Amino acid sequence: MLGALIAQLDRPELAAQVLDTLDPDLAIAIEMRAADASMTTADFVAGAVRAFIDSADDDLWFQMLTVIRKADDPGLTAVQTILKWVATERQGAA
């Protein structure tokens, strides 16, 4: 589930579908982060999720598992949560 979704996040249509499931303000924040990084939104989304996968510590993984534990679509919920964390990090730094 999650692995298949992550593998396809660099596809613009899939990234757009994921952004459509987010709060509109959060989706705009992600698009702004992508623009700030001179990246397409799809590349930014894929990179943000992969960076989390590669570098998250045990505490973040525990938080993630807690969030997705009862989700109807754990893969989508995981990606949504990661993107929320990415957008929140940016807003906190501004």
26-36 pLDDT per residue, tens: 999 999 999 99
34-68, pLDDT tens digit by residue?
999 999 999 999 999 999 888 889 999 999 999 99
Among 41, 7, 3, 4, CA closest to 86: 41
Stretch among 9-13, 59-63, 77-81, 86-90 having the lowest mean pLDDT: 86-90
Mean pLDDT, the chain, rounded, equals 88
What's the rounded Cα separation, in Å, for the pair 59 and 11? 30
What's the pLDDT band for 86 if we cut at 50, 70, 90? confident
At position 62, the amino acid (one-letter code) is: F
Sorted by where each begins, the domain ranges of the chain are: 2-93
Q: Which of 25, 34, 42 shows the shortest CA–CA distance to 84?
A: 25
How confident is the model over 9-17, as a mean pLDDT? 89
